[in-house]
Amino acid sequence: MGRWCTAWGRAGSGRDRPPTPARPASAPTPALTRRTPVRGTPGRPAVVTAVLTLTAALTAALPGDGAALAAGVPAGYAFAEDARRIEGASGTSDAAPLEPGATYRSSLPRSGTLYYRLELDTALDTYVSVTAVPGPGGEVTAVDGIRVSVQDADGGSCSSDSATFGAAHSPRPVTAWGMREIAPGATRCQEPGTYYVTVERSRPQDSPPEAWDLELTAVTEPRAKQTGATTAPEAWNSASPEPLTGRPERRPGGNGFAHATTVGQGAWRDDIRPGQTLYYKVPVDWGRQLYATAELGGSGDQSGYATSALRLALHNPVRGEADDAAKGYTGRRTTVGLAPLPPVAHANRYATGRQTSAMRFAGAHYLVVHLAAQVADDFGEGPFALTLRVRLEGTAQAGPQYAGESEPKGVFEVPDRGRGAAPENGATSDDLAMKAVAVGGIGTGSLLLMGLGVWTAAARRRTGTT
């Protein structure tokens, strides 16, 4: 028991530096209550098996890497379980195809451009997202990151986007997107045929030498049956609403897009460590506006400064980034918020601004929170209290009538239970099981200790000990 606890503590120390004492948990672990009399005493193997089974089941229910959570270190990016392995080619002739509706895993070397292939018609808009995941130990620069483009068969550019690590110089997952869209009056990239997705590092000469893991998605959107507005709305409520108040409800964030935790309107509480990135998804219907802020709790040490330490970003249903904001940290409580964004509307795609244009779909939008690794240098390994406040304004409206199905199906829809004004701290039905664990504050370590308590009690009953 002693050796096990010592090893566990060593695994949770993170970097090779003296660990900072952890903050007390915000909620006590609920007591184990026996509701029915126990007949007989279970044998030691049975008790151990039951404890380990329960621990494994609940660890699997928690977002992200359960082992990393138990060890008290930031979990890495969690890729989609159904992601297909694919190799990027160095030229167009060997480019592997990307199928709409599928998710892929690949690898990006330090230098060179990777090519992937798309076969497109004239009835669908196509969106590709690429998330690059650098190793946690590499040093990155502010302008380093990835660049993604979609090109036609002649090498003409349909779209281009880039994502960089920013002023914090903190390794984290970065996501860029590309598109081929059918637009009124457009002349480029409107023909059916073969197109190519290119991925490269934006600053290879200053980039870490190790290869980066990639997660790629391809999504198609059908054309609307009836032609609607071809210009973006010019007037909308751009004033920030009053911030939400009330006691936050504990809701652990996920460790990747595919494992994002669903939340609605409300205040949500979690812990975050330096270098960690948390993912939440919010169903947003047509006509609704999303507002969000992230608040980082204070530290016992208030003598340092970390540049752009707390970052909050919003991604649309195809993972395209709509907005981001970052703020430095001095050890005092700090809050960062997104800019007011327009209501979700199909016509937003015709806007010239990136923020408005990205708010073109209904569906699950992603809030991504990152705490810079450099925070640990002045303020310790944490964890630090994180509060995410989400507000949905406006009335849900009918969206466009699509002339076909998207791939994957339903990506631009909000389930009936997500329509209308979400109640404050309202949970959706697909995460009630996780809520039961999260609200109770039961972690993997607590479950193991509870199981050992049961084992000890059973042993004492066998020996007649009170």
Please report the pLDDT score of residue 62 as a whole number: 43
Q: How do residues 319-343 score in pLDDT, each as one tens digit?
A: 999 999 999 999 999 999 999 999 9
Q: Averaged over 238-242, what is the pLDDT?
A: 84
Shortest CA distance to 455 belongs to which of 3, 159, 43? 43
Asked whether 16 and 77 are in contact (CB, 8 A), the reply is: no
Q: Which fold has domain 88-223?
A: Jelly Rolls (2.60.120)
Q: How do residues 439-455 score in pLDDT, each as one tens digit?
A: 334 444 444 444 445 44
Please report the pLDDT score of residue 417 as a whole number: 55
Cβ neighbours around 86 below 10 Å, total: 18
Q: Averaged over 21-28, what is the pLDDT?
A: 43
Residue 203 pLDDT > 50: yes
Please report the pLDDT score of residue 17 as a whole number: 40
Please report the pLDDT score of residue 351 as a whole number: 93
Residue 16 pLDDT > 80: no
Residue 102 pLDDT > 90: yes
Residue 2 pLDDT > 70: no
Please report the pLDDT score of residue 49 as a whole number: 47
Please report the pLDDT score of residue 40 as a whole number: 41
* Least confident piece of the model among 41-55, 83-97, 348-362: 41-55
Q: Which two tokens stand for residue 180?
A: 């081929």
Task: List % helix, strand, coil for the chain (3-state, nearest 5).
Answer: 20, 30, 50
Q: Which fold has domain 58-82+246-466?
A: Jelly Rolls (2.60.120)
Per-chain mean pLDDT for the chain: 80
Residue extents of the structural domains in the chain:
58-82+246-466, 88-223
Q: Rounded to whole angstroms, how far apart are CA atoms 435 and 244? A: 20
Q: Tell me the pLDDT band of 55, cut-offs 50, 70 and 90.
A: very low
The secondary element (H helix, E strand) that includes residue 126 is strand 124-133
Asked whether 173 and 85 are in contact (CB, 8 A), the reply is: no
Q: Tell me the pLDDT band of 435, cut-offs 50, 70 and 90.
A: very low
Asked whether 421 and 392 are in contact (CB, 8 A), the reply is: yes
Indicate the burial class of 176 (C-beta count within 10 angstroms; 0-12, 13-18, 19 or more).
buried
The pTM for the full model equals 0.77
Q: Tell me the pLDDT band of 212, cut-offs 50, 70 and 90.
A: very high
Asked whether 248 and 268 are in contact (CB, 8 A), the reply is: yes
* Least confident piece of the model among 10-19, 83-92, 146-155, 446-455: 10-19
Q: Tell me the pLDDT band of 429, cut-offs 50, 70 and 90.
A: very low
Residue 133 pLDDT > 70: yes
